[in-house]
Structure 1
Amino acid sequence: MDIRQIRYFLAVAEEGQITAAAKKLNISQPPLSQQLKALETELGVKLFIRNSRNIELTEAGIILRNKSEQIIELVNATEKELKDLNKGLEGTLNIGTVGSSAITVLPKKIYEFHQKYPNINFQMWDGSSTRIMELLNNGIIELGFVRTPFNTKVYNSLYIKNSELKNHTHDIMVTVAKSELYGNIDKDKISIKELENKPLIIHRRFENVITEAFNKLGLSPNIICKNDDIISSLTWANAGIGIALVPRTSSTLMYNTNLEIKEITNPSMEAKSALIWMKNRYLSTAASHFIEYFY
């Protein structure tokens, strides 16, 4: 299996037809069909289900499509990396980020960086911390903004200071909910004890931190939903389903809501944001200079 076959396969997977894929690739149909058959023979699996009008991916085909997209991105990133080495500070910097950093931290830093290095372009990848680390592992991005925890044996890191936190790195967990879900609690803080029987909505990444905080008091959290997206937590809270537990810097990611925010105390819970990059892997000049903006 070579890069050409991968590109041919992806074209067919995207177009859903041999004829359309051949036209897109600017080749005739017979050689394309032969390459696909050769690929299936080499891998020992069927990649397509051929119908009268189009073709569909098999389970093996779906797996190969996902991996092939990563391979092509890696090839493209490598080409850009080598051009960057040759030209100096030009090219594209690939960055992954969780939603909170994309709003509260990155815009100002990217603006400052772009003023000094106008020939650097950016390609941004949004997602959960798990997704960002996966992109780093696969070489799709060079830098990632994530929430703790992460494996410090795999990644170099810098904890991010945030102006909203008075330039501290710790980010206190808060509750976000409709006022009626708080009951008689009308102050701007809420204790773990007061949350004991409340319906909680949490990001899966913070489950251990939250559970441990409750367990310290001999309590168990009443978690009605776990998810991988803080926006989902806030959306559910805005619908009145439960109380979302999120970092303070993420609590205002939704606008035009009537949600109340309360700081969690007794004990408090904290999360941190960090800029991470792979250990023992080439880092472009552009990425190295960008990291300097966070020291």
Structure 2
Amino acid sequence: MKEIGVGARGKLSIGVNTLSSDILAAELRKYSERYPHITYKIQQNESAQLCKMVKERLIELAIVRFPLELDDFSIMPLKKEPFYFVSSAQDDRHSSAIRFEEMQAYPLILPSTEGLGVDHMILEEFSRRKLEVNLLSECSDIPMLLELVSSGFGATIVPEVVLKMHKGHELKFTRIDDTHLNAASGIIWLKDHYLSMAARNFIEQIKQ
């Protein structure tokens, strides 16, 4: 029982957003080397659903995408990352950078569902610039979204981490010019509730 108390044994239950996080695999490997007797429960889902799961104590921690209503949670922000415009590898209509005005010519496939998280941020950016968005489709499955883009069905706008974690598609990645649009994420846990030593140790590791 003493070992469980110091986090040497037990279970780490953590959720990760559908758009995923490029830090999780490396951090879990490092954590498992330090605590070899810990077991894991890893759940992937939309950020809003992960918040619900944390509230219901199905998982203790979650890596989520902002913006979200997080009054009930403690938050540790992670690094921000830029968005990229992604089109088929055969697309030759722009070069090293693209502006939002130019994106209007492309039918867009946005990640996730309408009004939630990343897609909401993208639509807000078009609206802020008083531009019409040529919205062709929404897609909650990232590999499928990238496959559709690769086929020439449409283009998309995604955080940099998506391109790091989903390689192997024939795609053209283009920096978005003249924008402060960044993807923000963080680790959350339920405020003013018990947190296992396994979860606390993982949070401390991320802080370092």
TM-score if structure 2 supplies the norm length? 0.87
Partner of 2:105: 197
Deviation digits for residues 125-171 of structure 1 (CA, Å, limit 9, x no counterpart): 112222322221211100001111122311111112xxxxxxxx111
Give the letter for the 2:70 counterpart: T
Consecutive unaligned residues of structure 1, counting only runs of 5 or more, are 1-82, 161-168
Shift of 1:197: 2.3
| Mapped partners of 2:107, 2:164: distance in 1 | 20
| Mapped partners of 2:31, 2:83: distance in 1 | 30
Shift of 1:206: 2.0
| Mapped partners of 2:123, 2:80: distance in 1 | 19
Contact 1:231–1:253 (CA under 8 A) maintained in structure 2 = no
The structure in which a higher percent of residues are strand is 2
Shift of 1:212: 2.1
Instruction: Give aligned-pair identity as a percent.
Output: 24
| Distance 1:238-1:253 versus aligned 2 partners, 3 A rule | farther
| Mapped partners of 1:178, 1:230: distance in 2 | 15
Deviation digits for residues 179-227 of structure 1 (CA, Å, limit 9, x no counterpart): 34x4421x22111011012101112332332122222322111111123
Q: 2:165 is paired with a residue of what secondary structure?
A: coil
Structure 2 matches for 1:42-191, cutoff 5 A?
87-89=5-7, 90-102=9-21, 104-160=22-78, 169-180=79-90, 182-185=91-94, 187-191=95-99
| Mapped partners of 1:125, 1:201: distance in 2 | 25
Give the letter for the 2:33 counterpart: Q
* Residue 280 (str. 1) matches residue 192 (str. 2): yes
TM-score if structure 1 supplies the norm length? 0.63
Q: 2:161 is paired with a residue of what secondary structure?
A: helix
Partner of 2:153: 241
Root-mean-square deviation (Å): 2.1
| Mapped partners of 1:179, 1:239: distance in 2 | 9
1:250 alignment partner, one of 162, 167, 183? 162
| Distance 1:172-1:87 versus aligned 2 partners, 3 A rule | closer
| Distance 1:252-1:87 versus aligned 2 partners, 3 A rule | closer
Consecutive unaligned residues of structure 2, counting only runs of 5 or more, are none
- After the TM superposition, which parts of structure 1 deviate over 3 Å for at least 4 consecutive aligned residues? 83-88, 99-102
Shift of 1:228: 2.7
Shift of 1:84: 8.6
Contact 1:96–1:145 (CA under 8 A) maintained in structure 2 = yes
Give the letter for the 1:199 counterpart: P
